[in-house]
Amino acid sequence: MKLTHIDEQGKANMVDVAYKPKQVRTALAEGFINLQAETIILIRENEMKKGDVLTVSEVAGIQAAKKTSELIPLCHPIMLTKVSVKTTLQKEGVHIECMAKCIGQTGVEMEALTGVQVALLTVYDMCKAVDKKMYMDNIHLIEKIKK
C-alpha cells in the first residue's frame, strides 16, 4: 500500500497511518536562544518583569507540544503519554530540550520541535523589553525512536 500526501486532484492530505502498528515513539529536540549578559543575570536573579522566564517557558513548551496538530496543518492529533521541557541557563543564553512520547502509529518529532520553538519564543517574549539582540539558533531534532 502506497502512502501519499497528494490525492488524485493534487490536493494535500494527511498520510494514512491506519495500517501502521502502534509503537512506543519518542522524539527529542533542542534549541538555543542567545542573550546578552545583562539579560542572563536578570533571568538568574528572577528579576524579569514578566516573571520566572525558565519555568514559564517550560510550561509554554509543554502546552505547545500538546497543540501541535492544531498549528501544523497535516500533523495527526496524537495522544501524548509524556512531554517534558528542560531549560538550562548557560553563559551565552538558554538551552532548551523537549522530549515527546506516545504510543501510536505516527512519530512525535513535530511535537518535540514545536515544544522547543514555543519555549524559545516564550523566552524571547519575556526578555524582549531588555534585550534587543536576542536570536534563536541551532533548533533541530536530536533523535526519534520507535519500539
**Tens digit of each residue's pLDDT (9 = 90 or more) over 37-56:** 999 999 999 999 999 999 99
Single pTM value for the model: 0.90
CATH number of the domain enclosing 63: 3.30.70.640
Residue 125 annotated as catalytic: yes
Given the residues 7, 16, 52, 125, select the one marked as catalytic. Answer: 125
Range of the domain at 54: 23-146
With respect to residue 11, please indicate whether it lies within any of the assigned structural domains: no
Spell out the long-range contacts of 58-63 with Cβ–Cβ below 8 A and sequence spacing 24 or more: 58/85, 58/86, 58/87, 58/119, 59/85, 60/118, 60/119, 60/121, 60/122, 61/85, 61/96, 61/98, 61/115, 61/116, 61/118, 61/119, 61/122, 62/115, 63/118
**Total number of domains in the chain:** 1
Supply the pLDDT for residue 5. 58
State the average pLDDT over residues 22-42: 97
By CB atoms closer than 10 A (0-12, 13-18, 19+), residue 55 is exposed
With respect to residue 16, please indicate whether it lies within any of the assigned structural domains: no
The cell numbers describing 104, all together, are: 501510536
Of 51, 75, 54, 74, the C-alpha closest to 65 is 75
pLDDT tier for residue 3 given thresholds of 50, 70 and 90: very low
With respect to residue 74, please indicate whether it lies within any of the assigned structural domains: yes
